[in-house]
Amino acid sequence: MLPENFLKRMETLLGEEYPNYLESIEEPRHHALRINTLRGSVAGIRTLFPELVNPVLWEETGMYYGAELPMGKHPLHEAGAYYIQEPSAMAPGHYLEAKPGERVLDLCAAPGGKTTQIAAAMKGMGLLISNEIHPTRAKILSENVERMGIRNCLVTNETPVKLAKNFPEFFHRIMVDAPCSGEGMFRKNETATENWSEENVALCAARQKEILSCAQEMLLPGGRLVYSTCTFAPEENEQVIEWFLKEYPEFEEEDVQLCEGMVKGYGNHQGAIRLFPHKLSGEGHFVCVLRKRGKIPEEIGIKSMKSLSEKEIADYRAWEKKSLAVKMEGTFLRFGDELYVAPKDCPELKGLKVLRPGLHLATLKKGRIEPAHALSHALTKEELLPETGCFFEMDDLRVKAYLHGETFPVEGENGFRLVFVENYGTGWGKNTGGILKNHYPKGLRTQF
């Protein structure tokens, strides 16, 4: 049962379309995934899953699938070949239009759908900072960044205020997928209705204004900011934008092209978009595209972190030379025994809560190297020396055995081997006398 006051508000908002909305929320919700082009091609996944025939109109890598398909319990899901994401939630990332080589911030990022979409658009080039204020959700975000094989992402667990102090006018693009009352997800998540109230709508609107105030400080002149919510409430959508434009007149809305089924936001808002479940195959969403007037400067005066020297990473380089066909480049960082590589010119992180300072490369153990699970998901088949890989088709019984944490016989020399499922790196094992000792993380082991 939907709250009575909510239904009255929706009837006022939609007018003659209100009965169509009521019909739509009684229908089954739509299931979709986004193919991870950092790790493989759209055509490749569609070959493996011929059931994926209907594309999401506003995301070229998005595909609908039937609820009967267990896409969340599949070896290629564990390998990061795709990300399960509500189709309307793919729209904000589409309109952010992130480009390779830019500096991008996803300010309210958990669980990671928009971060992983942005990362794919950046193609591993540039700097992506993905932030989540809640520690538990930030951990989930970090795990999804790892699973999708993202190399150029730093995951932080900070307040927007703290980030704004550290990164004044630093980012080319910022995503603000703001916490909201969640009205657009009532069909998908029935428990969300229990927390709804008009008072909560007002509280969310106040919080959204605070977040946007911090976000605007971090955007470069000429930069793009995308604000989104998954609610219908005008107080959290158009009214927040109206407040923002009055408070920060250096911003303006950008007129954007709508996809089929989308409608313009209410009022005089050329950059605002509404997604309704009775008009398209997805849940309720709001998106607004904002631009900061001015020209993007060529140089930014923020201190970069110092990379470890080649001497300090000599053990890793020796392992890399005999195992990989590529040489990792960037800012090398060490935290205890853990070695990471962050993007080149990575900004100073001192004083920030950082969960993932770039790509986790390895654990350094008394003169020997243990490659990190994150590295297994970041490497492609072409970046690995042939003798370092073990290759299986997705229906091979050894794949399930590996994901369960079991061992099995292999051929070749002793040493670490990267287990591939349909050419997607899934995790490490260590060949010891013809037996592959399982190094798949215990916390990720599955029982499907």
Task: Report d(CA 29, CA 283) in Å as an integer.
Answer: 8
pTM of the model: 0.97
Model confidence pLDDT, tens digit, residues 256-293: 999 999 999 998 888 999 999 999 999 999 999 999 99
- Tell me which residue of 132, 147, 222 sits closest to 178, measured CA to CA: 132
Sorting pLDDT into bands at 50, 70 and 90, what band is 173? very high
Cα gap 272→259, rounded to integer Å = 13
Q: What is the pLDDT of residue 188?
A: 86
From the number of C-beta atoms within 10 Å of its C-beta (0-12, 13-18, 19+), residue 434 rates as: exposed
Q: Are 148 and 79 in contact (CB under 8 A)?
A: no
345: its two tokens: 């010119």
**Positions of E strands within 207-343:** 219-229, 251-253, 263-264, 272-275, 285-292, 331-335, 338-342
Task: Using a pLDDT cut of 70, give the percent of the chain over it.
Answer: 100
Structure tokens at 160: 């927007």
Please tell me whether the peptide bond between 111 and the residue prior to it is cis, using omega within 30 degrees of 0. Answer: yes
**pLDDT for the residue numbered 2:** 92
DSSP helix, strand, coil percent of the chain (3-state; round to 5): 35, 25, 40
Can you tell me whether residue 98 is helix, strand or coil?
Answer: coil
**Active-site position among 230, 288, 346, 390:** 230
When pLDDT is averaged across residues 143-153 and rounded to a whole number, the result is 98
pLDDT digits (tens, 9 = 90+) for 344-363: 999 999 999 999 999 999 99
Each as own residue / partner, the long-range contacts of residues 132-138 (CB below 8 Å, 24 or more positions apart, any chain) are: 132/108, 132/156, 132/157, 133/108, 133/157, 133/158, 133/159, 133/160, 134/110, 137/110, 137/111, 138/110, 138/355
Q: Which of 370, 432, 440 lies closest to 398 in space, CA to CA?
A: 440
What is the C-alpha to C-alpha distance for residues 213 and 203, in angstroms, rounded to an integer? 16
pLDDT at position 3 over 90: yes
Distance between CA atoms of 41 and 366, rounded to whole angstroms?
39
206: left (phi over 0), alpha (psi -120 to 50) or beta: alpha
Q: What's the average model confidence in pLDDT over 110-115?
A: 98
Q: How would residue 71 be classed by pLDDT, with cut points 50, 70 and 90?
A: very high
- The reply to whether 153 belongs to the active site is no
